[in-house]
Structure 1
């Protein structure tokens, strides 16, 4: 390594920044993880040897590999969390330093580095674009050392935090003027914290020292790791957890109820609720408190460092038992609503880490503790979980809504786990945690005996959404040069069955697909991307006001593709035009089989959002259901062209003789047949009677024939373009060998044009104005009349539509118009259930009717709410069991919900008013 005559004395002051950049260049061009690690090891060994030589007289000087390591792992540098500098600012500074004309080709490349047509081959990677602009304008080697570069970066970060713009600018200019093109490329990547050389954080730390990653997981302090592990021969056998030093907590591995017995080797295990909050570690030492998140970020300023400050500490100080000097508690920080005694979720758009935002929603901080790692200076991590839990009871007295001990219950088999998961789904919880009672606490590991089981991990329990890609974001590193993430949207339904023309931005997805799938998909859309210009946005795509989330490039939906996405829940968000987005979205598959205009609509999205409070898990889990889906790498030895399944192929009609012109000029699509007539037999008959068949209905299709309402039929009904007729009608035509006009009773779905014709000849029940009615037709009419008169839900919706047309200013008398409510005012004695005379709910029921609600005499499939008396929750358990079995869920609320709706003038969140009771089974 090159050295300078500068004295004294750290290795970083002697080693040029050019040599570190040379190392990164060599690593990025080397193939194979082991070979990359070998290159890095040679550099680290040279550094250590030079350190020994430089400090031969004083080996204990506080000098280490940290100045280089913080540049190799910039995202771990806690002292420089943010520079406040983005690619656009760097582009302007480069243009200034190089004296480039603002309209010059190189300036255009720098300012529009994401435009695929402006920068070919390097689009999206600003560092590479800058390198090609600088390579003929800079010296071959820079003059700055690693120490000098770090000093400049420290100054930039500090001045940016102090909002001093001029010192920030001067330091950046100093770096740009004294580095080569290659060095500036790597400097830019360090500033934007995206190095991407093909070596993971774990690999780099393991090259430095075998214990480096483990020690970093415990203390989250890169400088401390480099200082304590300077000598590779000294092993850190006792990795200690110390008070006020942040570390990454122990994590849970994905699991399934089907495998719990096997994972626990048939032994007893613990089950806890998986809380929908923020993982938080509380450190206490006498009267000083500190709070750290899962990533090591400190939130003491929010929750309080002493008994007199913060949103939580003043309320829990007196909860600690006498004799407790110090402790480290692991738990989940939740938002607790004191009035309703319920916990908030992220779907309710509040952040418990923001005191002001949480308080505006009426929530207070509450810590649910589920583990303890240190007690009165004694580290407990090597004790089994069953023993650690006993220590928690020695530390503090629980206080409702502020400081609680997580409830743990013992379980023994797969069914116990399945039952617990179903309880979590019914309670709209995030899931459950399954823990081995003998597990020791291992920071930052998922292989320690803890398993998280959530509905979205299990196939069939989550709603999957078909949404269309409308935007793209350029990737970096191994995904550079292509779109790595995508903006997805939902459609605003078109009028009169027309294809949608307006799409609302909904979410951003970037996971769930393999690299090969991503490359293939990019090739498919490559010719259709257009640069997104917020001054002239596309008419078909509507983003959130102020363009809070905008893509690098956009694509017209007609040139795009639908993706099937799975997520945990729908949450509020002002970053997207829909006003909401998906939490933890991931792509399940690219839907090449579905046209772009059949994506999810805004109407369907709102229905999903209202269902179960935005949670996308509504089904009950049964043992034997689908297991968590894992993608497996496929090995293909030869190319096999995909073919249609036999049931989708057209029948061979080459030898069919036409016997009639009854269907001449009519194209018919047959989806499925009946028990007496198969699809192929019906298609032959169409040809015999002079018609033509098609497998996919189009603009020239006369009608669609079907007997069963399958998925494909449902999709055609949604499009509302075709007459879908029962097979029985066609069979009547075949048997009579003559054309028989349709009647309303022959239809599965009627197109708008045919519906207008039917209204001229038939009443609303399908009774003809002109034709004589047969006995069977009369019976069908009566059945239809009974069906419509009994269906209060349809009636309620009709009235709601009328109110919306004639009372657009929201008449209060239709507040509950779309609600169908079952009032539970029964008295249960053994197996006998009778109405309670003069029940307190009777008057409230009249009031509900006055404000538009439909009251149901029975708990049928259309009920949306069940109203129970606050003084009697004895039937809540039974009602929950009924709800669990129903495909359409209903809310269980008490009378306070009705009062709240009337006061607010709108339907309020039902979750706060569901009885918070546990009924023994």
Structure 2
């Protein structure tokens, strides 16, 4: 390294060539420890040089940051503004180097992945570029690390401002002053893939043992390098500071039956998990700032002082005297003053918008559950049980503006299960459980906090987070835009990586209004590409034969996650997952969730195994997921007894029967039993008399099995599904008419697949023939089979509507809903019917739009509709719901009106009284 100078930075004296030489050596070495040792020597030399340069300036901001941002370019947020990938870089190089577009070098750059044109390093753009540049660049570069960073910053700014001349100028400066080897490493820094075999954790650990921990706190690489430039300084001595954003502590997924083990049988706290957005509130005097989980600032919305914003003016006076500085961790919720309730993300409001209150009635309310800094005291290393009481000394709660989370202490799995069930009953998102002795560890899920939600436990949820990967054009009033969407789940990627492969899972086309669909189409419109089955996108895997081929596809990174609600997961060959959702509908667009956090194929498989495919908001019972132990069967020793048949079950002696007819010629029968007027032996003799043959055990040549009563042997034959089992009455009719009569569905006790298929050609679902004139007696039998027609499964109609009228049938709006109207004082007792109940007319409207209106509050009810004029039975209904395995929604008639106005099923929670 060069001689020190007191008025310069280290980066201005260390050449970029020296850093690239370091990377060359590290890349060629084998073994992680050897690589780390070489890097450690470089860092130590940098620190020694730094001490010499700044020996009289201990508070200098100069640090290892200029080199670190090049060693870990993917952590440098400013560099995210490049927007330069390999193909764009190739075009830029061709332009700057003045290469002919058809020249071999230009072709090599543009097609760097092609083995024939890109030499031995196909796929590695930096190496391919090296071969193109090595004869066009100086042998050794002349730029320092500081100068390279300055050019890169200028390129980033120029690219953001679309200033092509500025970008070209600084690229030309780099190209003419760096060697080909240095250019190779520069390219890798720009595309954020160094490929030297050292992970982010290794590089940070070499610099300082606490570097990764501090980076997780503040997400600021420059700050990490500056604060930890002395290896003797420890991270916990620095702590977090006001107005410096950091990633908050996160929770792992868990199940109630594992809590005792996860907590090591120690005391833990339970709190309700509300469906809001994570927020960190910073206060310093009269100034406030708000940061999201990812470090985005929303102070301009919520307000930086008591005179502006949608929240700060309402909470500025609630802080206790003496609280000058604080950092509070919490959840930003939407509070509806008129209904005195908190909203959910499914209600399609954005609490971060300025006009949220005017448009939706929801005002921001921060629910505080932790305090991390109080005045000048950092509390992150203080146990949770000691931090929580301090919240009472920070602020006074204000209803609908700022509230404290309510914690309960617990020790057992059962207490956790009870809390989860209460959250399910109250339609909450779930619960959080936190170890009482846990300290606050930013940006980690391994600190003793766990989130438990119904969706993490098989059988307790009916909503899934899926990624939109394709679209289908609509018709009619949905023409000209995507009306249905192909949703997929991800193949689980390697640890720490984004998913790259997605399996098609379902097609969804309901749950949104026309306005929402139009806005959603506008959001995705720039990113659609026509689906070409000859060249399908590599990330999207469809079922064999492309049974659900979309009209267009969208890159995962440009798409979004939708929360889909459904009845169950069913088998299906139409989708790559081998299963799909029954009656899916979009609940909400998960704008709070990045595309790479959609559900995976493993998640879907787990749900199917644990819940049998059913998706219901039921209760959790400890032991539900534990398979019962197999009972050992006691071996019973019995003596061999020669079996004999009772006389009525023995075959008839047909040796002396004389053949009288050929009606049954060539047909073989197995008679199990017959009516008292025509017992088994007589039927067998008649069969032989009419030219047929009789066997006692059916085989492949047997036409059918004749039965009057279904006994054990008949049941066993039916289970084999190899034989048609026909009523004895049919055979008697043939014998009495002395002519062959084909079977009809009414003659069958059991049909094989082949016979069933033949019936489908000639008979409807009730056994009425399409081609043969039906007799009065047969018609009566058909009507008898249709006696339960009014109880037909509405889900079958819904499936037909979705298949044949996906865009044009408003009359099936409530088709999948089973609704009980609260018009009785005693549930299900018509004698206590409320006279002139306002819900009587609504009953007709619901049926007109496809709903199944239930006369009793049976276990299949999905909604209970109550009148706003009589809410006297709400508590009673909630008590019934509390103990139900399958939950139902309690809504007022406003919910029905809103659904009809929007043309889709609206989120029920806001309409619950």
TM-score after normalising by structure 2: 0.70
Q: State the match for 2:876 in structure 1.
A: 875
Task: Confirm or deny that 1:449 pairs with 2:486.
Answer: no
| 1:89 equivalent in structure 2 | 88
Structure-2 residue corresponding to 1:314: 313
Query: How far apart in 1 are the matches of 2:312 and 2:726?
Result: 77
Out of 764-773 and 146-155, give the one that drifted further.
764-773
Q: Are the structure 2 counterparts of residues 15 and 548 from structure 1 closer, same or farther at C-alpha, using a change threshold of 3 Å?
A: farther
CA contact (8 A) 1:218 1:239 kept: no
User: Measured at CA, do residues 187 and 386 of structure 1 come closer, stay the same or move farther in structure 2, by a change above 3 Å?
Assistant: same
What is residue 618 of structure 1 aligned with on the other side? 616
Moved more, 352-361 or 25-34: 352-361
Secondary structure of the corresponding residue to residue 433 of structure 1: strand
**Which is further off, 502-511 or 179-188?**
502-511
Classify the secondary structure of the residue corresponding to 1:893.
strand
- Mapped to 2, the partners of 1:913 and 1:464 lie a distance apart of 19
1:431, 1:452 within 8 Å by CA — same for their partners in 2? Answer: yes
Do the aligned partners of 2:819 and 2:861 also contact (CA within 8 Å) in 1?
Answer: yes
Q: CA deviation at 1:552?
A: 13
Higher Rg of the two aligned structures: 2
Following superposition of structure 1 onto structure 2, how do residues 581-660 of structure 1 map, counting pairs within 5 Å? 581=561, 605=581, 607-609=583-585, 618=616, 620=618, 621-626=620-625
Q: Does 1:892 align with 2:890?
A: yes
| Residue 39 of structure 1: aligned partner | 38
Mapping of residues 409-428 of structure 1, within 5 Å? 409-425=408-424
The 8 Å contact of residues 76 and 221 in structure 2, kept in 1 or not, is answered as: yes
> Which residue in 1 is equivalent to 2:169?
170
Match of 2:526 in 1: 546
Give yes or no for the alignment of 1:743 onto 2:738: no
What do the CA deviations read for 1:46-70 (whole angstroms, capped 9, x no partner)? 2123333444565654432111112
Does the residue aligned with 1:240 lie in a helix, a strand or coil?
coil
Task: State the 1:166 CA deviation.
Answer: 3.0
Gap change, CA 1:4 and 1:840, over 3 Å in 2: same
- The answer to whether the 8 Å contact 1:897/1:910 transfers is yes
2:787 alignment partner, SS class:
helix
Alignment check: 8 A CA contact 1:793 1:820 kept = no
Structure 1 residues 706, 789: closer, same or farther in 2, change over 3 A? farther
The whole-number CA distance in structure 1 between the counterparts of 2:280 and 2:78 is 20
Structure 2: stretches of 5+ with no match in the other structure: 475-482, 503-522, 545-552, 565-569, 591-598, 600-606, 608-614, 628-664, 669-696, 705-715, 732-739
How far apart are residue 599 of structure 1 and its match? Answer: 5.3
How far apart are 1:326 and its partner, in Å? 1.9
On the 8 A contact 1:549/1:576 being kept in 2, the answer is no
Residue in 2 that maps onto 1:910? 908
Change in 2 beyond 3 A, CA 1:908/1:91: same
Q: Displacement of 1:110 after TM fit?
A: 3.5
**Which position in structure 2 is the counterpart of 1:757?**
761
d(CA) in 1 for partners of 2:166 and 2:758? 74
The 1:558–1:580 alpha-carbon spacing in structure 2 relative to 1, beyond 3 Å, is: closer
Q: 2-side partners of 1:138 and 1:553: how far apart?
A: 45
- Counterpart of 2:242 in structure 1 is 243
Q: How does 1:689-700 map to 2 (within 5 A)?
A: none
Question: Distance between the aligned counterparts of 2:414 and 2:724, measured in 1?
Answer: 49
- Name the CA distance, whole Å, in 2 between partners of 1:514 and 1:442: 21
Checking the alignment, whether the CA contact within 8 Å between 1:803 and 1:814 is kept in structure 2 is no
The 3 A distance-change label for structure 1 pair 95 and 369 is same
SS in 2 for 1:309: coil
Cα 1:347–1:562 change in 2 (3 A) is: farther
Distance 2:188 2:337 in 1: 47
Equivalent residues in 2 for 1:520-559 (5 A)?
Answer: 545-548=525-528, 556=536
Counterpart position of 1:855: 853
Q: Output the CA distance in 1 between the equivalents of 2:210 and 2:189.
A: 25
Structure-2 residue corresponding to 1:216: 215
For residues 798 and 252 of structure 1, the distance between their equivalents in structure 2, rounded to whole angstroms, comes to 39
Matches within 5 A, 1:190-201: 190-201=189-200
Aligned to 1:262: 261
Note the C-alpha offset of 1:336.
4.0
Q: CA deviation at 1:413?
A: 1.3
Compared CA separation, residues 514 and 253, structure 1 to 2 (3 A) = closer
Q: Secondary structure at the match of 1:14?
A: coil
1:785 aligns with 2:780: no
In 2, Cα distance between the equivalents of 1:847 and 1:743? Answer: 37
CA distance in 1, matches of 2:491, 2:797: 42
In the alignment, which residue of structure 2 is the partner of 1:821? 819
1:511 aligned residue: 492
The residue that corresponds to 1:480 in the other structure is none
Note if contact 2:331-2:367 (Cα within 8 Å) is conserved in structure 1. Answer: yes
Give the equivalent residue in structure 2 for 1:646.
none
Give, in angstroms, the shift of residue 441 of structure 1: 1.9
Deviations 1:598-633 (A, max 9, x none): 6579xx6572336899999636433234489xxxxx
After superposition, the C-alpha distances for 1:337-381 in whole angstroms (9 at most, x for unaligned) are 555555454555655445468976664433221101122333233
**Contact kept? 1:765, 1:781, Cα under 8 Å:** yes
> Structure 1 pair 28/778, CA: closer, same or farther in 2 (3 Å)?
farther
> Is residue 544–residue 577 contact of structure 1 (8 Å, CA) maintained in 2?
no
Pick closer, same or farther for the CA change 1:29–1:312 going to 2, 3 Å.
Answer: farther
- SS of the equivalent of 2:301 reads helix
Label 1:24 to 1:454 Cα distance change in 2 as closer, same or farther (>3 A).
farther
Alpha-carbon distance in structure 1 between the residues aligned to 2:14 and 2:666: 92
Which secondary structure state, in structure 1, belongs to the residue aligned with residue 583 of structure 2? helix
- Give 1:121 deviation, angstroms: 7.6
Determine the structure 2 residue equivalent to 1:394. 393
Using a 3 Å threshold, how does the CA distance of structure 1 residues 763 and 274 change in structure 2: closer, same or farther?
closer
Q: CA-atom RMSD, angstroms?
A: 5.3
Q: Taking structure 1 as reference, are residues 189 and 73 closer, same or farther at Cα in structure 2, changes over 3 Å only?
A: same
Q: Quickly say closer, same or farther: Cα 1:81–1:352, change in 2 above 3 A.
A: farther
Distance of 1:31 and 1:706 partners within structure 2: 68
What is aligned with 2:688? Answer: none
Tell me if the contact between 2:40 and 2:206 (Cα under 8 Å) persists in the aligned partners. yes
- 2:709 corresponds in structure 1 to none
Distance 2:847 2:10 in 1: 82
Corresponding residue number in structure 1 for 2:646: none
Q: Secondary structure of 1:292's partner?
A: strand
TM-score (norm 1): 0.69
CA distance in 2, matches of 1:349, 1:26: 54
SS at match of 2:380: coil
What is the rounded CA distance, in whole Å, between the counterparts of 1:47 and 1:803 in structure 2?
Answer: 71
Aligned residue number for residue 431 of structure 1: 430
Structure 1 CA distance, aligned partners of 2:86 and 2:357?
A: 34
In the superposition, relative to structure 1, how do residues 576 and 400 fare at CA in structure 2: closer, same or farther (>3 Å)? farther
Instruction: Return the alpha-carbon distance in structure 1 between the equivalents of residues 814 and 828 of structure 2.
Output: 34
Which residue number corresponds to residue 729 of structure 1? 724
CA drift of 1:488 comes to 5.6
Secondary structure at 1:826's aligned position in 2?
Answer: coil
| Contact 1:506–1:578 under 8 Å retained in 2 | no
1:483 counterpart residue number = none
| 1:836 correspondence with 2:837 | no
CA shift, 1:141, in A, is 3.0
Q: How far apart, CA to CA, are the structure 1 residues paired with 2:401 and 2:106?
A: 56
Matches of 1:517 and 1:149, distance apart in 2: 30
Is residue 2:327 matched to residue 1:328? Answer: yes
- Cα deviation for residue 450 of structure 1 reads 1.4
Counterparts of 1:279 and 1:751, CA distance in 2 = 61
Do 2:133 and 2:180's aligned partners in 1 also have CA atoms closer than 8 Å? yes
Cross-structure match for 1:281: 280
Local SS of the residue matching 2:155: helix
Query: Following TM superposition, by how much is the alpha carbon of 1:516 offset from its aligned partner in structure 2, in angstroms?
Result: 14
Distance 2:572 2:790 in 1: 38
